[in-house]
Amino acid sequence: MCPNHELLRERERERERGQRENKKVMSQVSGLYIQRFPIAYILDLSHFPSSHTPHSLQTSEKSHQISLGLSNLANMPSQFPPMGEDPEPGCNITPSPLRTKARGGFKAVSFIYALVALENMGLVANMVSLVLYFSYKMYFDLSSAANTLTNLMGSTFLLSIIGGFISDTFINRFLTCVIFGTLEVSALSMMTIQAHSDSLLPKPCGKSSCVEGAVAVYFYTALCLFALGVGGVRGALPALGADQFDPKDPKEAKGLGSYFNWLLLSTVTGSSIGVTVVVWVATNKNNHNWWKGFLITAVGSFVGFVFLVLGKPFYRLQVPRDSPLIRIAQVIVVAIKNRGLSHPESPNELYEINEKDSESTAPKIAHTPQFRWLDKAAILPQNTEPSPWKVCTVTQVEEVKVLTRMLPFIASTIIVNTCMAQLQTFSVQQGYRMDPHLGSFQVPAASIPVIPLLFMIILIPIYDRLFVPFIRKFTNHPSGVTQLQRVGVGLVLSALSMSIAALVEVKRRNQSLKNPLKPISLFWLAFQYGIFGIADMFTLVGLLEFYYKEAPAGMKSLSTSFTWISISFGYFLSSIFVDAINAVTKRITPSKQGWLHGQDLDRNNLNLFYWFLAILSGLNFLNYLFWATWYKYKNDDENGVVSSSASPGPQSTSDMPFLKAAATEEEMSKTRNGGSVVEETNGKE
């Protein structure tokens, strides 16, 4: 059972006061030495008094320091949980730094990299090939197969918010991954059984969908479990890995930037195996081996989650905090209630809890002038006792402001994910009608994405080991460039990818109409795939790092899920575009056929659809540029260290020629608000 919260908080405060009073004594002894050898620590305190001190004074001082050591030893059970054990869920205790230092780092995330590689081996193989499974085994028509896949992927990434919410609120991120991983493996097992059993497969019917009855129930149940399982893991896993690095430590702060790069490298390495080996096995023998492909993905995912469990002794596990959704709701409700109150003359008059009275060890966030109507939630009405639904702290209000500032980036990165959906649907359909031979070897159309994946396997280490250290010399930024600059590069490249896709489709269709027996090579698709692969390298990693670093302490998983929500909306928007463009063009074209009707690409206008996405991507980049300029980063040290010599006016990385210089650790000092450490953000009206 969890110990009494009030007693634990009082012990924590006493320990902090004792550490400040005896800082000179404690700084001489290694933290790990104190934890493992407390008796030796007490006896060793005798070397502290100066040899020039009189003997009687030395004796008195020794006695005093030994008593301090005994006091520290007596308090150890509450301060330092036993090695290998974690606080129970619901106990809001910050893990001891002595204990967390022995954990985490790249040793811990190596287990996460193993899971990511093995799981994505199956996931990405399914993403690029399921459209063929839906077409040739489940008998959907062209647009229905594409929409079924995009709806599945959209639901998968949208459900990541559930995993993020649960891991921030109820159970730690590790347990969240294990629970949802079980659902994922179960779903893949169900898909394996269905693909292997003829009684669970539909018969051709000539309609847009032939899945009905018991077959439909089994089919959609498996897809729903798959979406829930994969989505839940996505919501918690990136933040679990990022938790293994302490942003207060300069070395680990650099490791945090590298973590996201190597996370992507693990993803593309596993994906490369998936889109070659797994796809070849699944589509071999005229699409009769799908069950083998699903079986490989199920086994691979299971082994990946075994690796995750084996790494538990090495993880730094963050204890869940209060529900982020409830904290957000409290701010909005109280702000509406207090809408008639006037703003105070000074932000210092807004309600905040001092460090001594605070139940949380998370850093306080300084007030910013953006979204001033939310500040009314931090106004305590006269003759009112403070309570959660009557007044909110400045920190709580600022958490909502941070999330609000992130919302435009969810919207402005949707189009790039809509473009990605085309490479997993229509581009695969294109490849199926092109010459798949590489010499005597026949390459499956769904395996063509291996080309950008190979590019990324080469480029990611070069980017992380050469480009980032080089550019860091000029910017002093731990990641070399800001996250939003990295995302912007990806958006430009995605527009270029769609333009090339349109040109390649014109060439493919003209050749197919001219001589259907001699189609162009499948490898013409490598151009659009290769450029988009590089775009994804910039966009995905940039967004993950951006949302994790900028998020408040108790909302890391939830905010990281914003990346997957953007991907989800991109897939859903793809389905909407396909249906809407078909409906509109069916009315205005002379043939009365939509751009994307039927199953014959040679009679469609897929190239016009690609041009539509290219133009939309260009306009979207201009929209993104506006919000990236408007956005104000939190201070680079997310735990509230700010330059004591900094000017009071806000600074923005986006307003400077390239990047603001990061201040060195020696130049940083803590800003205090009511006795609390303040995490500063820069705001702008």
The Cβ of residue 530 has, within 10 Å, a number of other Cβ atoms equal to 19
Decide if pLDDT at 162 tops 60.
yes
The Cβ of residue 470 has, within 10 Å, a number of other Cβ atoms equal to 10
Per DSSP, the residues of 633-677 read PBPSSTTSEEETTS-SS---GGGSSS-PPPPPGGGEEE-EETTEE
72-81, 154-163, 383-392: which range is least confident on average? 72-81
Please tell me the pTM assigned to this model: 0.69
**Average pLDDT, integer, range 313-331:** 85
User: At 452, which helix (H) or strand (E)?
Assistant: helix 450-462
**Average pLDDT, integer, range 348-372:** 74
pLDDT for 103: 80
User: At 572, which helix (H) or strand (E)?
Assistant: helix 556-588
- Give the largest CA-CA distance in the chain: 107
- What CA dihedral angle connects 524, 528, 533 and 539, to 10 degrees? 180
8 A C-beta contact, residue 632 and residue 655? no
2-11 pLDDT, tens digit each? 444 455 556 6
Residue 612 buriedness (CB in 10 A; 0-12 / 13-18 / 19+):
middle
Q: Can you name the residues that pair with 669 across neighbouring β-strands?
A: 642
In sequence order, what are the residues at sequence separation of 6 or more whose Cβ sits closer than 8 angstroms to the Cβ of residue 56? none
Q: Which two tokens stand for residue 351?
A: 């309600």
Decide if pLDDT at 93 tops 50.
no
15-29, 247-261, 654-668: which range is least confident on average? 654-668
Angular region, 674: left φ>0, alpha ψ -120 to 50, beta rest: left
Residue 364: strand, helix, or coil: strand
pLDDT for 6: 54
Phi, psi of 672 (to 5 degrees): -120, 145
Question: Can you tell me the distance from the alpha carbon of 470 to that of 84, in angstroms, rounded to the nearest whole number?
Answer: 39
Decide if pLDDT at 163 tops 70.
yes
- What is the pLDDT confidence band of residue 680, given thresholds at 50, 70 and 90? very low
Question: Can you tell me the distance from the alpha carbon of 69 to that of 38, in angstroms, rounded to the nearest whole number?
Answer: 8
Residue 219 buriedness (CB in 10 A; 0-12 / 13-18 / 19+):
buried
CB burial readout 387-415, b (16+ within 10 A) else e = eeebbbbbbbbbbbbbbebbebbbebbbb
**Average pLDDT, integer, range 37-57:** 40
Rounded to the nearest 5 degrees, what angle is found at the Cα of 18, between the Cα atoms of 14 and 22? Answer: 175
**Beta-sheet pairing, 641-643 with 668-670:** antiparallel
Question: Can you tell me the distance from the alpha carbon of 447 to that of 273, in angstroms, rounded to the nearest whole number?
Answer: 10
40-54, 142-156, 289-303, 623-637: which range is least confident on average? 40-54
Q: Can you name the residues that pair with 668 across neighbouring β-strands?
A: 643
8 A C-beta contact, residue 168 and residue 313? no
- What is the pLDDT confidence band of residue 40, given thresholds at 50, 70 and 90? very low
Phi, psi of 638 (to 5 degrees): -70, -5
Question: Can you tell me the distance from the alpha carbon of 179 to that of 160, in angstroms, rounded to the nearest whole number?
Answer: 13
pLDDT for 190: 94
Residue that has been written with the tokens 């829930």 in this structure: 228
The Cβ of residue 230 has, within 10 Å, a number of other Cβ atoms equal to 30
Per DSSP, the residues of 504-517 read HHHHHHHHHHH-TT
Kindly state the DSSP code that residue 374 receives in the 8-state scheme.
G
224-234 pLDDT, tens digit each? 999 999 999 99
96-143 pLDDT, tens digit each? 444 555 688 889 999 999 999 999 998 888 877 888 888 888 888 877
**Average pLDDT, integer, range 542-568:** 86
> In angstroms, what CA-CA distances link 182 with 65, 236, 298, 304, 680?
53, 14, 11, 11, 40
Residue 438: strand, helix, or coil: strand
8 A C-beta contact, residue 295 and residue 121? no
Q: Is the dihedral of CA 222, 228, 231, 232 positive or negative?
A: negative
8 A C-beta contact, residue 123 and residue 273? no
Decide if pLDDT at 213 tops 60.
yes
What is the length of the chain? 685
Q: Which two tokens stand for residue 57?
A: 């004074």
User: At 417, which helix (H) or strand (E)?
Assistant: helix 414-424
8 A C-beta contact, residue 9 and residue 359? yes
pLDDT for 504: 93
Q: Which two tokens stand for residue 431?
A: 């490849």
Could you give the residue ranges of the DSSP H alpha helices within 159-249?
A: 160-169, 173-196, 213-242
576-612 pLDDT, tens digit each? 998 898 888 888 877 777 788 766 788 888 899 999 9
Residue 644 buriedness (CB in 10 A; 0-12 / 13-18 / 19+):
exposed
In sequence order, what are the residues at sequence separation of 6 or more whose Cβ sits closer than 8 angstroms to the Cβ of residue 528? 423, 427, 497, 498, 500, 501, 504
Question: Can you tell me the distance from the alpha carbon of 225 to that of 255, in angstroms, rounded to the nearest whole number?
Answer: 35
8 A C-beta contact, residue 350 and residue 367? yes
In sequence order, what are the residues at sequence separation of 6 or more whose Cβ sits closer than 8 angstroms to the Cβ of residue 157? 231, 234, 564, 565, 567, 568, 571
**Beta-sheet pairing, 364-365 with 676-679:** parallel
Of the candidates 398, 338, 344, the one whose C-alpha atom is nearest the C-alpha of residue 371 is 398
pLDDT for 664: 35
Question: Can you tell me the distance from the alpha carbon of 457 to that of 453, in angstroms, rounded to the nearest whole number?
Answer: 6
Q: Can you name the residues that pair with 672 across neighbouring β-strands?
A: 677
Question: Can you tell me the distance from the alpha carbon of 478 to that of 545, in angstroms, rounded to the nearest whole number?
Answer: 12
User: At 679, which helix (H) or strand (E)?
Assistant: strand 676-679
250-278 pLDDT, tens digit each? 778 778 878 888 998 999 899 999 988 99
> In angstroms, what CA-CA distances link 382 with 242, 341, 386, 618?
43, 11, 10, 52
pLDDT for 356: 55
Q: In what order do the strands lie in the sheet with 676-679?
A: 364-365, 676-679, 672-673
- What CA dihedral angle connects 401, 405, 408 and 409, to 10 degrees? -130
